[in-house]
Amino acid sequence: MFLYPLFKKLLFYFDPEISHRITINFLKSYKTRRIITDKSLECNIFGLNFLNPIGLAAGFDKNAEVPNNVINLGFGFSEIGTVTPFPQLGNPKPRVFRLTKDNAIINSLGFNNDGFKKVGERLENKKNNIIGVNIGANKDSDNFLEDYLKGIEFFSPNASYLTVNISSPNTPGLRDLQIQENFNLLINAIDNLKKSSSHINLPILVKISPDLSDQDLRELCEKVTSSCLDGLIISNTTISRDTINNIEKGGLSGKPLFEISTDQLKRVYKYTKGEIPLIGVGGVDSAEKAYKKIKSGASLIQLYTGLVYKGPKLIDEINNGLIDLLKKDGFKNISEAVGTEVN
């Protein structure tokens, strides 16, 4: 944990995907449970009791190899995936690029994963931890919508919650599901599935793109608030390069994503009138940035790229920092701070 600066030098010597595999293998042997708990951080969202609001975003533990080990690092929850119905290799390599000067990463992975069956078998041993499953569609699928419905049915018995990922920029045509007509069809299908299946009673969220136009965002929020969806994740990676000097293909995450994703978070909180819980993602690498997300409307926070650059100690730093920031502002619990900066 505390040797991460040295470990990081070693990891950054290798290709990012090799470094990721080294880290996953290391975590398989990490059994020590360590988590910061404080009454001010505990919250009940989606009917789930979170010991703290900081979670690991999808993309790290794609195949549910280390879901419990990740929680042991201090996270309040974790999200595995993205998982598709059938295994797929993803896009051609190289497809992950570190932008060290920007504390950012560009990836064009393309949902490389082991598929529902293998991942589902691993997830059966998630213990009592809160583990969400991020589901996607196969690149060669004839029907993206059907892939998502299959994922909801398949993972409902073992997931704590499900995230419908329709915002990755690395699967051609996937983001089209955010367009009003397509989005309405998807949400209506999910609504019908939930109403007709008594065993599907877990929270279902949708993860959206930070690149949506304001009109598309308003229409999406209007549909969400009238549906049986339980929340939104704001946001996925961006294809914008306005803040960096790099033209590699793929989604940009990390520090440059913070402002654009937080601005969208505020707008979604406003458009939904704070009626549904939001998870804030994008560029979180400090307690101050996590707190900014919370005050902008996030009930929970996720991070990934910040962990790459700062290491596991970041989790404790954020949670301890949040305790101090809440106390400073006179909040007894983190739920009291949600959306307080949204006009």
Catalytic residue among 156, 167, 168, 209: 168
Instruction: Name the residue type at position 31.
Output: K
What are the backbone angles phi and psi of residue 274, rounded to the nearest 5°?
Answer: 65, 20
296 tagged catalytic = no
d(CA 209, CA 171): 13
**Which residues in 242-256 are b (16+ Cβ under 10 Å) and which e?**
eebeeeeebbbbbbb
Q: Of 89, 79, 86, which is closest to residue 50 (Cα–Cα)?
A: 79
Sign of CA dihedral 216, 85, 126, 320: negative
d(CA 86, CA 114): 7
Number of H helices, E strands in the chain: 11, 13
Residue with tokens 């106390």: 327
List the catalytic residues.
168
